[in-house]
A and B are shown apart, each in its own frame.
Chain A
Amino acid sequence: EDQVTQSPEALRLQEGESSSLNCSYTVSGLRGLFWYRQDPGKGPEFLFTLYSAGEEKEKERLKATLTKKESFLHITAPKPEDSATYLCAESHNFNKFYFGSGTKLNVKP
């Protein structure tokens, strides 16, 4: 059974303190690894899709990377507005998607 594990469950950072969130997956034959941001009371908002090991994508202070077993979301010099829950998901056929339980990030000014 596909399984996605995210760590840590929660992360508190000072503004400007860079860090990384981890997403590990068990599926073989991964077709896509997805990162989403979810703000309280809202639906997830798409950030990145990674398709193969070694791939990297960047958007403002966020950079997502992918290996054969895990993905990292690197946050460089975070700001309070980056506070949210970050979700990752994997799919091996683009029909079914398996989500992790998320990392709740809190960035203090």
Chain B
Amino acid sequence: EAQVTQNPRYLITVTGKKLTVTCSQNMNHEYMSWYRQDPGLGLRQIYYSMNVEVTDKGDVPEGYKVSRKEKRNFPLILESPSPNQTSLYFCASSMTLQETQYFGPGTRLLVL
């Protein structure tokens, strides 16, 4: 089944404790992206990647890191999480830039 998977789905952590949210797709997609969704603000793009080893900033990259060492994986790293990073995070992928984006199921993060 073609899908985008994210792990974990739910995470509670404390300020400053490094964490990684994994994203994996099984569709051989070139383009992958991370978003955060907050009430009243909609989805905001954090980082995107056009292919392996090619990443760039979205609209709200501060406090986040990403890497794209393999085509299928695009982890989101929070080196020192803060409470304002409490949010619902979505990973998405598409075959090429112009193609439909497929979203993962989301990761709900609470930073205390």
Contact = CB atoms under 8 A, between A and B. Distances in A.
Interface of A: 4, 32, 34, 41-46, 49, 87, 89, 93-102
B110 to A, nearest CB: 16
Q: Contact size class for B?
A: 20 to 34
A interface majority secondary structure? loop
B98 A32 contact: yes
Contacts of B40: 101
B interface majority secondary structure? strand
B45 A96 contact: yes
25 contacts: A42-B105, A43-B90, A43-B103, A44-B43, A46-B100, A46-B101, A49-B100, A89-B43, A95-B50, A95-B56, A96-B45, A96-B48, A96-B58, A96-B59, A97-B33, A97-B43, A98-B45, A98-B59, A99-B42, A99-B43, A99-B44, A100-B42, A101-B41, A101-B42, A102-B42
A32 B94 CA distance: 14
Interface of B: 4, 33, 35, 40-45, 48, 50, 56, 58-59, 90, 92, 97-98, 100-106
B76 to A, nearest CB: 15
B33 to A, nearest CB: 7
Contacts of B92: 43
B111 to A, nearest CB: 20
A48 B104 CA distance: 18
Nearest to A42: B105
A21 B30 CA distance: 32
Given A42-B106, A44-B90, A97-B33, 5 more contacts: A34-B101, A96-B48, A97-B45, A98-B45, A101-B42
A42 B100 CA distance: 17
Contacts of A41: 106
